[in-house]
Amino acid sequence: MPNVPGLRSPYETVRDFVYFSRMLDKIRLHAKGQLPPDFVNNLGKAFDDRCCQYLKINYRELTDWVLAHPEQSSEDVLAWAESMGRKLSTNDIEIWNSFMTKRGWRDEAREILERRLKENGLGPEAGVETMFDYIEVDEGRPARRTAL
């Protein structure tokens, strides 16, 4: 998949919380008709769903609020999400980040990761060990080599 202008890396953080800013970018880009079709099928699913579940918010409500408040920063949206769901502690963020940045490495998502690597002709030289790494490489960025 090509790099999509305006779509941040899953490693980008909001208050040190990975993935959230990417989910917001997908919501906003989709509303503008700028999100490629391959992304649209998974809106609100997979990592989006996990993120919303972790925050204890509803994806549709998040989408509606984000689109109704386009001037709000990612930090503002996270504050709203926490007010509607749960407030994240430093420990909560550390647990989330550790889980998400290692997804596909020695867990049940490994099979999916290996299938995607094979479909895209990527071997060990690509340096992909996790789903986040796969997203990076798939969008034209190098796989991350250091921990958060």
What confidence tens digit (pLDDT) does each residue in 34-87 have? 999 989 999 999 999 999 999 999 999 999 999 999 999 999 999 999 999 999
- The region, left, alpha or beta by phi > 0 then psi within -120 to 50, assigned to residue 86 is beta
pLDDT surpasses 70 at 145: no
Q: Which is more confidently placed, 144 or 126?
A: 126
CA distances to 36, 38, 39, 66, 79 from 84, in Å: 30, 30, 26, 13, 9
Beta strands 13-14 and 17-18 are antiparallel
Nearest CA to 148 among 127, 135, 133, 137? 133
3 state SS of 122: coil
Cβ 96 vs Cβ 148: under 8 Å: no
How far apart are the C-alpha atoms of 87 and 144, rounded to whole Å? 28
| pLDDT per residue as tens digits for the range 21-30 | 999 999 999 9
pLDDT surpasses 70 at 99: yes
Provide the H-helix boundaries in the chain.
20-31, 37-40, 46-55, 59-68, 74-84, 90-101, 110-119, 131-138
Q: What is the pTM of this model?
A: 0.93
Domain ranges of the chain: 1-101, 104-143
